Amino acid sequence: MIEREPSGTTWTLKSWRGKLLAIFARLNWLPPLLARITIGVVFVSTGWGKLHNLGKVTEFFSSLGIPAPSFNAGLVGYCEFICGILLLLGLATRIATIPLIATMIVALVTAKAAEIHGLQDLFGTVEFAYIPLLVYLALFGPGALSVDIAVAHAIERFQPRARNAATRRERLEQRHA
């Protein structure tokens, strides 16, 4: 299919594909940012809620048969709150996803177990929906708009200077030896 533009240029399916791929390549920072913000906001708010209602959370954990309910209520609250903040910042993103994945698995096995009778029920839970997003962030990282990437760029920028300084020092030491 060929269409003529008023300027005389010819547009083909291949050229449209190339232009779309170029646009999508420039937007590759967006999916990890959206995943981080979505998950981060959810976990900061749920963690904050747990931390300010530890008594209720402890009672709920006791009713589920979770061992050491008081300890685990605090652990889950702090885990969700702190790891949620880390995800929002894009700081230690890959590490922060691990406790959150574990928390969601425990929630599925305990709090949601009675509601899950098959894959459709499992895939329909919000707790399960968070797991693929967390796995995505664990595997592919926080994206370009993150503290992790800013730190990596800073390290790369200063590393050659340190290497050149060491080389210069070695040359000076060899001359004076």
% of the chain surpassing 90 pLDDT: 72
Residue 10's DSSP bridge partners are: 4
Cβ(34)–Cβ(146) below 8 Å: no
Q: Is 11 left (phi over 0), alpha (psi -120 to 50) or beta?
A: beta
| Tens of pLDDT, residues 68-116 | 999 999 999 999 999 999 999 999 999 999 999 999 999 999 999 999 9
pTM of the model: 0.80
pLDDT at residue 162, rounded to an integer: 55
Report the alpha-carbon distance of residue 75 to residue 42 in Å, rounded: 17
Task: Give the tens place of pLDDT for each residue, 39-55.
Answer: 999 999 999 999 999 99
